[in-house]
A and B are shown apart, each in its own frame.
Chain A
Amino acid sequence: MTHSVIREAPPAGADAPVTASNPRLRWILLAVGLVAALALPWFIYPPVAMDIVALALFAIALDILLGFTGLLSFGHAAFWGSSAYVTGLIATHYGVPFPVAVIGGAVFAMILALPIGYVSVRRSGIYFAMVTLAFAQMVYFIGYQWSDLTGGENGLQGVPRSFFGIELVETESFYFYYAALPILLFGMWAAWRIVHSPFGRVLVSIRDNTPRARALGYDADKYKAVAFVLSAGLTGLAGGVFAINHGFVALTELHWTTSGDVVLMTVLGGIGTLWGGIVGAFLTVTLADYLASSGFHGIDLITGSVFVLVVLLFRRGIWGTVRHRWNIRRLRRASARAGQGYSSPDGNSRHTTSGEGTGR
């Protein structure tokens, strides 16, 4: 643990995507990702595979705020959970095909995000984290007490999985996975679009220098609020699929530990990498799944330690670190070709980071 490493802060999300200057690689990565997504339930128990993809979208949605807007929401369970409940209620009471119910849940999450976002974005940084946490706790209390609607701590049980009468999808989780996957992939695509749109660029400029963005005439609070609502909507998509996947909704989905878990996934994967969330979700879910039958009790011990270690030593996260290494290699090769020595083998210098940051 050397001092220089520690002091070296990667500005959240400042690394350039690997693919920024390499469109071919982008397509390769996309293809690999799609194949992995399609192959997942062949290797992992399908309901668990579904959880991984749903939580991956959750983490990606959080990263729109954390990595690209510079806002740490510690209350995203409110949107995940409330969408799960609304999805479950719509599916139970109206018997509509599950994608319709999921969209209903996502819309509700966005509606809920409006007032919460409106109030929360008035404070940024640390305050934002605390305020969102407090609001989420409020939603949790309401969910607990309104048991006529939510079933209280019994949960909302028996959520049907209706899908145009196609029985295989409705009963077999293996086929359900493929029916629900497009919704989640759409969510991920939407996140990517948001981040790479002009709107996303304004968000980044607000993150990096709010006064300057304001001076340029952008209403920073409004942009943040919109980002918050969009993030909540994508979170809602993921939460809705999660609810249908399990066939019930429990209050855990609204609990602050769920907010903490998703922050962990995002940080573990890499803040501001977007796709890092997939890695984070994969590791977290498989770990919990493995520990359930391992005989080791105390998952929080591992989770918490990983959190501490990642924050202290690998702030780029897994995806971020891989990307960073790749970029260094690429730069080194490029500079070798140009006949210049490139002398930062481990890439610790801020020069490297900021140099690439402009390549976005």
Chain B
Amino acid sequence: MSALLQYAVQGLAAGSFYALAALGLAVIFGVLGVVNFAHGAFYMLGAVATAVLLDTLDLTLWWSLLVVPVLMFLFGVVVERLLVQWLLRLDPLYNLLLTFGLTLVLVELVKQQYGVSGLPYRLPSGLQGRIDLAGVVLPRYQLFVLFFSIALCVLVWLMMTRTRIGMIVRAATEKPELARALGINVGRWVTPVFGFGVALAGLAGVLAAPFRAITADMGNNFAIILFAVVVIGGLGSIVGAVVAGFLVGLVEAFGQAYAPTFAQILIFVLMALVILIRPAGLFGRQEATT
């Protein structure tokens, strides 16, 4: 029983990376219609920035959690203004290709700058150690990641439902036809929304820095799993992205425990099942099928 609980918490903690990053991917897709292939690269940049900030300015994780998303937001704004915006009126495939090329460039630049073996990182002492909950031993940091992500998802949800900007974004994401019919102009929110999505990917990277390898390639596999996550959740759905993120984390953890070799294949099997049974994704609307 305690093992099950432990696996569940570990799965949810791993899932919180997927959830955060997938949330960013879903919001970008919703408002811009862009599938951002570079999302994995942005996640990687978030982790690299965290390590570099610690190394050069001695900024601990707490500061990085604040600073890096802001930096990534700005970076996202630059990328959107410089590259992505020119292709927004075209077939979305062009932006997928553009961000794919961007991924190659970013990964290579990081390799050239910071080498291939990875960067060091140490955890602030407050987050080291473990908590023993009735026989279930859990690293403090995993719990922190879990609660932090859930809190953030709730915060984003509140923002989406309670603020004017949020409602516009949500309307554009989940009911684009309606938003247009009501004459809501999403145009001016395009750039900040892209930045926001990138910041979320970067934030997932910050959280990953202490217990994952910080290398230029860390985002590659992550991005592919992320695609499976949003397909499972339904691309047009914000809730779907988050729920599917945690779900995939759980599948991964229990897969590791009971079918170790197939831990990752299981995710893709789940994806195939979802497409067969609910092509629009668990939370997607059927008419969103493009």
Contacts and interface: CB of A to CB of B under 8 A. Distances in A.
Indicate yes or no for A touching B, C-beta below 8 A: yes
A148 interface: no
Nearest to A141: B265
Given A125-B290, A127-B235, A256-B224, A267 B97 contact: yes
B227 A134 contact: yes
Interface stretch (B120-128, B153-161, B184-192, B269-277): B269-277
Interface in A46-96: 72
B224 A122 contact: no
Contacts of A119: 272, 275-276
Given A134-B231, A256-B224, A312-B87, A126 B272 contact: no
A152 interface: no
B108 A300 contact: yes
A308 B102 contact: yes
A31 B259 CA distance: 57
Contacts of A303: 101, 104
Contacts of A298: 108, 111-112
Given A122-B279, A304-B102, 7 more contacts: A120-B275, A126-B35, A133-B227, A256-B220, A267-B97, A307-B104, A311-B87
Contacts of A305: 101, 105
B231 A135 contact: no
Contacts of A72: 93, 96-97
Q: What is the interface of chain A mostly: helix, strand, loop, or mixed?
A: helix
20 contacts: A7-B86, A9-B90, A9-B91, A120-B275, A127-B235, A127-B290, A130-B231, A134-B271, A135-B268, A135-B272, A145-B261, A263-B100, A300-B104, A304-B105, A306-B101, A308-B101, A311-B87, A311-B94, A311-B97, A315-B94
Count class of interface residues, chain A: 35 or more
B94 A126 contact: no
Contacts of A7: 86, 89
Contacts of A263: 97, 100
A294 B104 CA distance: 20
A303 B35 CA distance: 20
B277 to A, nearest CB: 11
Interface in A139-159: 141-142, 145
Contacts of B104: 260, 300-301, 303-304, 307
Nearest to A12: B91
Interface string B209-230: 0000000000010001001101
B137 interface: no
B98 interface: yes
Nearest to A271: B93
Q: What is the interface of chain B mostly: helix, strand, loop, or mixed?
A: helix
A127 B33 CA distance: 12
B256 interface: no
A179 interface: no
B3 to A, nearest CB: 25
Most buried by A among B35, B106, B227: B227
A138 interface: yes
A21 to B, nearest CB: 27
Interface of A: 1, 6-7, 9, 12, 72, 119-120, 122-127, 129-131, 133-135, 137-138, 141-142, 145, 256, 260, 263-264, 267, 298, 300-301, 303-308, 311-312, 315
B237 interface: no
Contacts of B90: 9, 315
Interface string B250-287: 00000000000100110011011001100100000000
B2 interface: no
Contacts of A129: 35, 93, 96
A137 B220 CA distance: 11
Count class of interface residues, chain B: 35 or more
Contacts of B276: 119, 122
B142 interface: no
A126 B89 contact: no
Contacts of B83: 308, 312
B103 interface: yes
Interface string B105-117: 1111101100000
A141 B261 CA distance: 9
B92 interface: yes
A130 B35 contact: yes
Contacts of B29: 126
| 6 shortest interchain CB distances as A-B pairs | A307-B101, A304-B104, A304-B105, A130-B227, A300-B108, A308-B101
A308 B103 CA distance: 10
A263 B279 CA distance: 25
Given A12-B91, A134-B231, A138-B265, A300 B97 contact: no
B268 A134 contact: yes
A304 B108 contact: yes
A134 B93 contact: no
A7 B86 CA distance: 7
Nearest to B104: A304
Contacts of B97: 72, 263, 267, 307, 311
A44 B96 CA distance: 34
A52 to B, nearest CB: 21
Interface string B225-248: 001101100010000000000000
Contacts of B220: 256
A350 B87 CA distance: 16
Nearest to B98: A311
Contacts of B107: 300
B212 to A, nearest CB: 19
